[in-house]
Amino acid sequence: MKAAVILRQVPDVVEELVIAEDGRSLSEDDVMYITNELDEHALEQALLLKARHTGTVTAIGLGGDAARDALATSVAKGADEAVFVPIDFAARGDNCVLSAHLAAALKAGGYDVVLTGVYATDQLDAGLGGLLAARLGIPYVGGLSGVQLDAGGRKAVVHKEYPGGRLGVMEVDLPAVLGIQSAEQPPRYVPVSKVMQARRTLRVKELKGPLPQVAGVTVRKLLKPESSAHAKMLEGDEDAVAGQIVNLVKERGLL
């Protein structure tokens, strides 16, 4: 089994998100990066597959320096290979550019299965997984919470999440791209000392070359949603309040 996992770095929302002067992007100096949570799940799922069926896991880290740290952590967790793909700040959330950039390398890699998170918190366009699969001409199923490979390694059986806790079982011929919603167990812990060790001994391949000129979504404006530091208080007695809550529920399509 030859698996690849794509890990993207996204802005960490624990820190205040500062909009740049142009009003259309984040201020680069103020952004702290963190690995996209669902990509961590994708890595965990890949490591689980490796434990079950012998094989290798290649971690592909996209972004800036933070991506290199993510690769060290991935290797500390058990990934066999690390590939760093430097991406300019402006393109980091652009899946059209990323998928075009990665397609050739993934094809050359001869991977049976490519796993990545089904979405990233910074994405505005179609998910990376679906675009990659389309470019590679291989199947894609996303929103998965379970992946099994059959003994021959030629197909996968996946569990796709639908609303209401229902799971769709699907058989997928390999090679394929899989969009992970949650790994079968939470991303494993790796002690800091192991990560530091990995960092020291890490050998990283780098995917060099300019980013392709591909049309993407144009961002006109970034804005903060109207937030109130305090709840809007609903006035009146229980009857009045109940009525207002029912309206809120209906407005949100929750009824």
Partner 1 sequence: MQAEAKSMGVEGGKGVDATKAFLGRLSLLPDGDRIAACIQCGMCSGSCPVGYAMDINPRMMIAKLRAGRVDDLYRSSSIWLCVACFNCTYRCPSNIPITDRLIASLREELLAGGVGVPPELQAAFEKTARYGNPFGESPKKRDAWTKEAGVEVPVLEPGDSADVLWWVGCFGSYNKRNRKDTIALARLLDVLGVDFGILGTDEWCSGDLRCTSQGEEGLFDALYRHNTAQLSKRKYKEVLVGDPHAFNALSKEYKRLGTPLKVRHYTQFLAERAPELRRLMKQTMQAKVTYHDACCLGRRNNEYEAPRIVLETIPGIRLVDMPRNRENALCCGGGGGANWLDSFIWERTRVPLPVQRVQEAAKTGADILAVSCPLEIPRFDDAIKTSGLEGRLRVREVSEMAAEAMGLSGARVA
Partner 2 sequence: MSPGGIVVVAEQEKGELADITLEMLACGRETADRTGWPLTCLLLTDRAAPFKALPLAADRLVIVEDPSLGAFNPEVHARVLAHHLKAMAPALVLLGNTATGMDLAGPLSLLLGGMAVSGCVRVAVEGDAVVATSRLYGGKLLAQTSVPAALALVLLMPGSYPRQKGMRDRAPKVEVQGGAGLAGPLRVRPKGIIEPKAEDVDLRKVPVLVAAGRGVQTKDNLRMIEDLARTLGGAVCATRPVVDQGWLPRSRQVGRSGVTVKPRLYLALGISGAPEHVEGMKDSDLVVAVNTDASAPIFDVAHYGATVDLLDLIPVLTEKLKAAKGGK
User: Which residues bind to partner 1, rule: CB under 8 A?
Assistant: 14-16, 34, 51, 77, 186, 188-196
Supply angle C-alpha 19, 119, 222, rounded to 5.
Answer: 20
Residues 66-95 contacting partner 2, CB under 8 A: 95
Query: Could you give the string, one character per residue 176-215, with x where binding to partner 2 holds by CB under 8 A and - elsewhere?
Result: x--x-----------------------------------x
Kindly give, in sequence order, each residue whose CB lies less than 8 Å from that of residue 210, ignoring residues fewer than 6 positions away: none
Distance of closest approach, residue 55 Cβ to partner 2, in angstroms: 21
Instruction: Classify burial at 251, counting beta carbons within 10 Å of its beta carbon; exposed 0-12, middle 13-18, buried 19 or more.
Output: exposed
What residue type is assigned to position 126 of the chain? Answer: A
Q: Cα–Cα distances in Å, from 201 out to 40, 69, 189, 194, 204?
A: 22, 12, 20, 11, 10
Q: Does 19 bind partner 2 (CB under 8 A)?
A: yes
Report the partner that residue 192 touches, choosing among partner 2, partner 1, none (CB closer than 5 to 8 A by kind).
Answer: partner 1
- Largest Cα separation within the chain, whole Å, is 67
Distance of closest approach, residue 146 Cβ to partner 2, in angstroms: 10
The 8-class DSSP code of residue 47 comes to H
Distance of closest approach, residue 84 Cβ to partner 2, in angstroms: 24
Report the partner that residue 152 touches, choosing among partner 2, partner 1, none (CB closer than 5 to 8 A by kind).
Answer: none
Q: Does 5 bind partner 2 (CB under 8 A)?
A: no
* CB-CB contact of 77 with 47 (8 Å): yes
Distance of closest approach, residue 227 Cβ to partner 2, in angstroms: 9
In this chain, which stretch among 48-56, 71-79, 134-142, 194-202 interacts with partner 2, using CB under 8 A?
134-142
With CB under 8 A as the contact rule, the residue among 9, 35, 58, 99 that binds partner 2 is 99
Residues 139-178 contacting partner 2, CB under 8 A: 139-143, 157, 159-173, 176
Query: 140: which strand partners?
Result: 177
Choose between 71 and 113: whose C-beta lies nearer to partner 2.
113
Distance from C-alpha of 34 to C-alpha of 13, rounded to nearest angstrom: 9
Tokens of 88: 């300019």
Distance of closest approach, residue 153 Cβ to partner 1, in angstroms: 22
With CB under 8 A as the contact rule, the residue among 80, 97, 118, 204 that binds partner 2 is 118
SS3 192: helix
Choose between 169 and 192: whose C-beta lies nearer to partner 2.
169
* CB-CB contact of 170 with 147 (8 Å): no
Strands 140-149 vs 176-180: parallel, antiparallel or unpaired: parallel
Choose between 201 and 218: whose C-beta lies nearer to partner 1.
201
Distance of closest approach, residue 252 Cβ to partner 2, in angstroms: 5
- Backbone dihedral region for residue 165 (phi beyond 0: left; psi -120 to 50: alpha; all else: beta): left
Choose between 193 and 227: whose C-beta lies nearer to partner 2.
227
